[in-house]
Structure 1
Amino acid sequence: MGLLSMKEDRPTPAAVYNWRIYACAIIASFASCMIGYDSAFIGTTLSLPSFVDEFRLDELASSELALVSANIVSVYQAGAFFGSLFAYVSSYFLGRRRSLLVFATVFILGAGLMLGANRQRGLGLILGGRVLAGIGVGGASNMVPIYISELAPPAIRGRLVGIYELGWQLGGLVGFWINYGVNTTLAPSHSQWLIPFAVQLIPAGLLLFGALWIRESPRWLFSKGRRDQAIENLCWIRNLPVTDIYLVEEIKYVDEELERYRIEVGAGFWKPFGSLKNKTVQWRFFLGAMLFLWQNGSGINAINYYSPTVFKSIGITGTNTGFLTTGIFGVVKTVVTFVWLLYLIDRVGRRNLLIVGGLGGSMCMWFIGAYIKVADATKPATGGGGGLSSGGIAAIFMFYLWTTFYTPSWNGTPWVINSEMFDQNTRSLGQASAAANNWFWNFIISRFTPQMFLTMSYGVYFFFASLMLLSVAFVWCLIPETKTIPLEAMDRLFVMRPVRKANALVMEELKLQDEEFRHTLGSGNISDKRGSRDQGETFSVSLEKGSFMS
């Protein structure tokens, strides 16, 4: 087994793993670049001397400064919460691709609004722009995982949705380092702090133009009855002719799933809400929401948005030293994300990653909190230049070790699970619920983190450590492994018991079903020859009529 080897749900032509599927995933993931950058740059920008001087933040009391910082950061999450809900409406009526165009445009308007802020106008334009930017990233955070998962072959679905997370980390890496760069190369000025705000426009612009090229999700087109376009897009994405047995099977699975939900739930904008009466659907909505509670309960967004405060609590002093330490944090996250994307997510699986990440991350948080309590590192000696004791160095090491546990587990894996766990009729609504929960808990953490550090000190780390332990128990008892399971078989996975064996049981069922279907089509002739001309015509007519139903 090589680094990029994979476990397939059924025999898959090599053409399926083509450049187009990766290109679509990469272009859509420019959305996560703008999300990652926006989440990372704001904390260090608020600490830039030029920004502090521009808006006279140094004249504020500690409690007032904490409130201003919390407001600037948290209005972004508030906008993202509503944007993730708006995305359900746009995705139903406009589709996945055009929704990305809309939300990229909204983000660009918000980013442009922020560039008009100065001392005379005050922080109002930044606050208003952050709200609009939040709506844009909230909608994109809903759309991108859905779009990629609906395009992806099951064997590399985790890897492709993982590109979304990789984009988040690359954007964050730039966001963490940019303020170190401007602070060390430019004199304090209005332009110095404006540059980090302007860079937001780059990934948003790339998404806007890239979305004009990518194809609409075939599964969304099937659900809207636009069958010819759906088949055309699917053939283009898979790089296969319509008569290929792999496409015949995939269309059959989609047809079966859509037909089942037309009978059980019905089609329409409000019908997915009606499906919430189904307890199995309610259960998946609950699991998806809780995954983001535990993700934010790890403390990641307290670090993302207030990294200078976090490192100061450990004992790091000096603006450049704090920025440098924060930048290294971004590098570690990005490097580990590559390992997660290329190897871990589709080999180790989602469930095991979450369990190991929760246990390891909790251990590190307990150590950091204990160090701060013993060494009183929240009150460094005046005039220090960022020097640390051996205990402080150990605490910094444990912080980076926490990063290596968290990044390949709770950082991106909840997005992967939520992108694949819902059926076609409830996928948009389920992802809207998951994304809204992410931004809601993100808002709660970012809004109160400054006050938590002021009042709780080392207790903040004990708080996050306890939540990470609880997350392990939650995953062990309730989350099944979703890797390699086709989207159309997720219903079976989430009712299978025991949870820890559900994946193996469903994969065995699918193997038997696939063998039966291929035997019915006839002795492997179609698989080997791709069908005669007459067979191809028969397939085409059947596909147009939607008659591949069991």
Structure 2
Amino acid sequence: MGILALVEDRPTPRAVYNWRVYLLAAVASCTSCMIGYDSAFIGTTITLSSFEDEFGLNTMSTSRLDRVSANIVSVFQAGAFFGSFFAYPVGYIWGRRVGLLCAGLIFMLGAGLMLGANGQRGLGLIYGGRVLAGFGVGAGSNMAPIYISELSPPAIRGRLVGTYELGWQIGGLVGFWINYGISLHIAPGPMQWMIPFGVQLIPAGLFLIGLLFIRESPRWLFSRGRREQAIKNLCWMRQLPADDIYLIEEIGAIDQALEEQRASIGLGFWKPFRAAATNKKVMYRLFLGSVLFLWQNGSGINAINYYSPTVFKNLGVTGENTDLFSTGLFGVVKTIGTTLWLLYMIDRVGRRMLLMVGAAGSSVCLWIVGGYIKIADPSKNPTGKITSGGVAAMFFFYLSTAFYTPTWNGTPWVINAEIFEPNMRSLAQACAAGSNWFWTFFISRFTPQMFTTMSYGIWFFFASLMALSVVFVFFLIPETKGIPLESMDQLFAHQPIRQAHGVLLQQLREDEERFRHDIVESGVMDEKRHVEQVEVVV
């Protein structure tokens, strides 16, 4: 098998894997570029001497500086938490495309407000702008994975939803390196810190332009009774005529799933809330999806993203430019890992194994880093340059990132975009995104204080959480790669959960063969056309 080989649930025409689905996924993923850029640039920008001089941060006590820095960073996550739930009514009533448009416009407004801040006005506009920008990306973090998953063929669904994570890392890579570049080439002054704030408008602008060319989710249109438009959009995305056997099957599966929802949960705005409160099956999946983000943030990755200069000082790296360069390398490692995850791992290795291997490897590395800091205590015993032990600790730090990025960084988003029925998907994604932003807020708000009070203990804390996540995934998370969205109920019905994927995939293939045989026998399509379209790579 090649790096882009596919594992299919049924024979799929080549036309289905076309440039349109990739373009739609790329446009929706611009929302994550905005998130990734913010997570990378803000922690380094507020440590620039020009920013500290402008707002008087260099005159504050350590405790007050920790508090102000934490507030600047964390109000973004607080806004995102509420934005993720705001997206539910917008996405349900007006659709995924309108939800994405609202997210982009709100973010643009917030980013523009931040540029009005200066020393005379104080930090108020930065606080307010970051709340609004966070509200926008929170809504986008709900809408984008749902939209992508609903348009994706099963065999490349992980890859397409993974473009959301790739956008996050590309934005982060730019954010990590931009401060290093301006610290070298732009003299300290207002422009030095305003440029990173202004760059936020670039991905937001590209996102809004791209929305002019995307089409509404066919699955959402089916759920709203707009069948003709849904079939038209689905034909456009698949580049197949409406009477093609593949589309007949896909439309039939969507119709069947909607009928099952009507009989179980029901179709309506409040039905998912009722199901979430009364249906144990739904409550269980909401629990699984939300707890995945607890473990994700328990890796410490967002502590590193938002406070990378503090992290590297804790490891013994000194000097503003050296801190920024080390941070930039961290961004490079994350981007390479995400690209590998997107092109090869997510749809080849699968979700479940990635989570367990990534957590175990990252945990071991973090224990080693914490052990070094406990013994050497480099932040309290500066040597002017990093020691050989510090180099080893840096290696394991980057190695933990290499374990984490192609496993936990994007996989929880993929799983949450897959495991719910269409009528539950928007509310479920809101809960998942809300869980992500809640735990991200918690980490970003208290990381400065944790580094100050816990020292090496913070690394042992994150390592322990990663070890516990392995147990959680092994016993509770099924493999979802290649399983159609409409078959997730069957997947969770199989026990034990670690064997469910193989059993269901075999059952789906047998059902597919019977269905196609019946179609051929009934004369819907002749044998020659049937043979030409059947080409499966397993």
Which bracket does the TM-score occupy, shorter chain normalised? over 0.9
Q: Match for 2:444 among 440, 443, 446?
A: 446
Determine the C-alpha separation between the residues in 2 that align with 1:380 and 1:495: 57
Name the residue aligned to 2:326. Answer: 325
Name the residue aligned to 2:360. Answer: 359
Name the residue aligned to 2:485. Answer: 487
475 and 464 in structure 1: CA distance in 2 versus 1, 3 angstrom threshold = same
Determine the C-alpha separation between the residues in 2 that align with 1:273 and 1:407: 33
> What's the CA shift for 1:378?
2.2
5 Å matches for 1:458-477? Answer: 458-477=456-475
Structure 1, unpaired ranges of 5+: 532-550
Determine the C-alpha separation between the residues in 2 that align with 1:15 and 1:497: 36
SS in 1 for 2:240: coil
Determine the C-alpha separation between the residues in 2 that align with 1:432 and 1:521: 39
Give the letter aligned to residue 10 of structure 1.
Answer: R
> What's the CA shift for 1:525?
6.8
> What's the CA shift for 1:381?
2.1
Name the residue aligned to 1:395. Answer: 393
SS in 2 for 1:63: helix
Name the residue aligned to 2:426. Answer: 428
CA deviations on 1:430-450 (whole Å, 9 max, x unpaired) are 000000000000000110000
Contact 1:154 1:484 in 2 (8 A): yes
> What's the CA shift for 1:530?
5.5
Contact 1:496 1:502 in 2 (8 A): yes
SS in 2 for 1:361: helix
Structure 2, unpaired ranges of 5+: 531-538
Determine the C-alpha separation between the residues in 1 that align with 2:140 and 2:381: 41
Name the residue aligned to 1:548. Answer: none
Give the letter aligned to residue 353 of structure 2.
Answer: N
The Cα RMSD (Å) is 1.1
> What's the CA shift for 1:326?
0.2
Determine the C-alpha separation between the residues in 2 that align with 1:381 and 1:329: 22
5 Å matches for 1:96-495? Answer: 96-276=96-276, 277-381=278-382, 384=384, 387-495=385-493
> What's the CA shift for 1:57?
0.4
> What's the CA shift for 1:102?
0.6
Give the letter aligned to residue 296 of structure 1.
Answer: N
- Give TM-score, length-normalised by structure 2: 0.97
CA deviations on 1:272-316 (whole Å, 9 max, x unpaired) are 111121111111000000000000000000000000000000000
520 and 474 in structure 1: CA distance in 2 versus 1, 3 angstrom threshold = same
CA deviations on 1:326-353 (whole Å, 9 max, x unpaired) are 0000001101111110000000000000
Give the letter aligned to residue 9 of structure 2.
Answer: D
> What's the CA shift for 1:529?
5.6
Determine the C-alpha separation between the residues in 2 that align with 1:484 and 1:528: 27
Name the residue aligned to 1:526. Answer: 525
SS in 2 for 1:213: coil
Contact 2:520 2:526 in 1 (8 A): no
Contact 1:350 1:417 in 2 (8 A): yes
Contact 1:378 1:457 in 2 (8 A): no
Contact 1:73 1:305 in 2 (8 A): yes
Determine the C-alpha separation between the residues in 2 that align with 1:268 and 1:112: 37
Determine the C-alpha separation between the residues in 1 that align with 2:348 and 2:263: 36
CA deviations on 1:5-52 (whole Å, 9 max, x unpaired) are 011000000000000000000111111111100111000001111001
Contact 2:520 2:527 in 1 (8 A): no
Give the letter aligned to residue 137 of structure 1.
Answer: V
Give the letter aligned to residue 81 of structure 2.
Answer: F
SS in 2 for 1:497: coil
> What's the CA shift for 1:380?
3.9
Determine the C-alpha separation between the residues in 2 that align with 1:31 and 1:66: 29
Contact 1:243 1:530 in 2 (8 A): no
Determine the C-alpha separation between the residues in 2 that align with 1:229 and 1:236: 11
Contact 1:177 1:323 in 2 (8 A): yes
CA deviations on 1:423-477 (whole Å, 9 max, x unpaired) are 1110001000000000000000110000000100000000000000000000001
Contact 2:309 2:324 in 1 (8 A): yes
Contact 1:41 1:175 in 2 (8 A): yes
> What's the CA shift for 1:209?
1.2
Determine the C-alpha separation between the residues in 1 that align with 2:73 and 2:323: 19
Determine the C-alpha separation between the residues in 2 that align with 1:209 and 1:232: 23
Determine the C-alpha separation between the residues in 2 that align with 1:495 and 1:66: 48
Name the residue aligned to 2:76. Answer: 76
> What's the CA shift for 1:250?
0.2
Determine the C-alpha separation between the residues in 1 that align with 2:224 and 2:427: 16
SS in 2 for 1:473: helix
CA deviations on 1:61-117 (whole Å, 9 max, x unpaired) are 000000000000110000000000001111001111111001100000000000000
Contact 1:244 1:527 in 2 (8 A): no
Number of aligned positions between the proteins: 528
Contact 1:280 1:495 in 2 (8 A): no
SS in 2 for 1:518: helix
Give the letter aligned to residue 244 of structure 2.
Answer: D
> What's the CA shift for 1:388?
1.1
Name the residue aligned to 2:536. Answer: none
SS in 2 for 1:120: coil
SS in 2 for 1:216: coil
Determine the C-alpha separation between the residues in 2 that align with 1:471 and 1:265: 31
93 and 525 in structure 1: CA distance in 2 versus 1, 3 angstrom threshold = closer
> What's the CA shift for 1:496?
1.2
Determine the C-alpha separation between the residues in 2 that align with 1:381 and 1:2: 49
Contact 1:245 1:530 in 2 (8 A): no
Give the letter aligned to residue 108 of structure 1.
Answer: M
Give the letter aligned to residue 229 of structure 2.
Answer: Q
Determine the C-alpha separation between the residues in 2 that align with 1:46 and 1:380: 25
Name the residue aligned to 1:498. Answer: 496
Give the letter aligned to residue 291 of structure 2.
Answer: M
527 and 75 in structure 1: CA distance in 2 versus 1, 3 angstrom threshold = farther
441 and 527 in structure 1: CA distance in 2 versus 1, 3 angstrom threshold = farther
Contact 2:50 2:189 in 1 (8 A): yes
Determine the C-alpha separation between the residues in 2 that align with 1:148 and 1:528: 34
Give the letter aligned to residue 454 of structure 1.
Answer: T
- Give TM-score, length-normalised by structure 1: 0.95
The alignment-based identity, stated in percent, is 66
5 Å matches for 1:17-96? Answer: 17-96=17-96
Contact 1:12 1:246 in 2 (8 A): yes
